[in-house]
């Protein structure tokens, strides 16, 4: 049961890697890496139950957080071409 | 069996993403793939039970260095310039170094082997478990090894991290102080007027 789930997750990871490599637009790559991060979280969770030690679920949660921060950073960079706060100040003043 | 399939598949993903990083000319895409590489590596570390290493890899590799590289990219262009000459000497050097590293890993004990010298030594582990609390007074065995038995090693590591921190601060802080001095100079002149 968990074995089948693990293999299915690995197959999905391969598909997202292919999309990240080929993806013509940058959005394809960002979406591919984001969903790959989700697959990593799933893999850690399912693998924990596969080996009978689901102690690493907390780690999976941290991965979800790191993945979110990374995606936000890439998207912000893509939108403003900068990681500083310059783009916001124009609106404020 | 499934464990080995998972590890081998994850290592294959590592190779695929590295080849992608080398081949791609779009630097933003390469940075994104580098984040993917770190996620795969962290997943492989978790599968191999090295949770602390995986934690560091996810936080530093996928989180901080992606953001730092994006910050560096904002000062340059998004597309790598085509190389005019071939670095065959560098390729040879890297191949030889990699072959030497693989050769050096050949006589290491197998992954998870119960007969490796660390596990098979009759006294070391037992001694830490039984006597570390008496000898060091530290309740946590890992902490007693890090802070007492291996204290000089940890002190050296801390010195290295401290030096790196000072170097970064002196590089970044100097620029800020210069701009502040310019501001203060102008206000001084205004005060004089």
B149 Cβ under 8 Å from any chain A Cβ:
no
> What pLDDT is attached to residue B60?
86
Report the pLDDT value the prediction gives residue B101, as an integer from 0 to 100: 95
Backbone φ/ψ region at B70: left (φ over 0), alpha (ψ -120 to 50), beta: alpha
**Coil/strand/helix, residue B79:** strand
Percentage of chain B modeled with pLDDT above 90: 22
Task: Determine the Cα angle at B69 with ends B66 and B70, to 5°.
Answer: 85
Mutate to test the interface with B, among A45, A66, A86, A87 (most CBs of B within 10 A): A66
Interface ipTM > 0.85: no
**Residue B3 forms contact with A (CB below 8 Å):** yes
- Domain positions in chain A: 2-83
Q: Apex CA A39: angle with CA A37 and CA A42, to 5°?
A: 115
Predicted pLDDT at A93: 44
Residue B95 to residue B93: CA distance in whole angstroms: 5
- CATH 1.20.120.1200, chain B: domain bounds: 1-79
Q: Which fold has domain B1-79?
A: 1.20.120
Q: With CA atoms as reference, report the closest residue to B128 among B143, B113, B111.
A: B143
Distance of alpha carbon A78 from alpha carbon B32, whole angstroms: 11
Higher pLDDT, A13 or B113: A13
């Amino acid at each position: 049961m968990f074995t089948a789930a693990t293999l299915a997750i690995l197959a999905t990871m391969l598909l997202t890697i292919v999309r990240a490599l080929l993806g013509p637009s940058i959005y394809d790559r960002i979406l591919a890496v984001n969903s790959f991060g989700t697959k990593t979280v799933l893999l850690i969770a399912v693998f924990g139950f596969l080996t009978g030690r689901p102690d690493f679920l907390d780690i999976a949660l941290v991965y979800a957080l790191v993945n979110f921060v990374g995606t936000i950073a890439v998207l912000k960079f893509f939108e403003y071409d900068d990681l500083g706060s310059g783009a916001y100040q124009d609106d404020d003043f | 069996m499934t464990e080995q399939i998972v590890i081998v598949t994850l290592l294959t993903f590592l190779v695929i993403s590295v080849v992608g990083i080398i081949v791609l000319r779009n630097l933003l895409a390469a940075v994104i793939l580098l984040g993917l590489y770190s996620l795969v590596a962290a997943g492989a570390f978790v599968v191999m039970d090295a949770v602390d290493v995986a934690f560091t890899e996810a936080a530093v590799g996928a989180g901080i260095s992606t953001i730092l590289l994006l910050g560096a990219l904002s000062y340059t262009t998004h597309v790598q310039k085509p190389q005019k000459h071939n670095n065959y000497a560098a390729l040879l050097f890297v191949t030889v170094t990699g072959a030497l590293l693989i050769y050096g890993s050949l006589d290491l004990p197998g992954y998870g082997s119960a007969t490796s010298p660390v596990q098979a030594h009759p006294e070391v582990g037992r001694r830490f478990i039984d006597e570390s609390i008496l000898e060091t007074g530290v309740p946590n065995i890992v902490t007693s090894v890090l802070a007492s038995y291996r204290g000089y090693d940890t002190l050296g590591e801390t010195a290295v991290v401290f030096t790196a921190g000072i170097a970064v601060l002196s590089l970044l802080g100097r620029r800020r102080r210069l701009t502040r001095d310019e501001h203060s100079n102008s206000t001084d002149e205004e005060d004089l007027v």
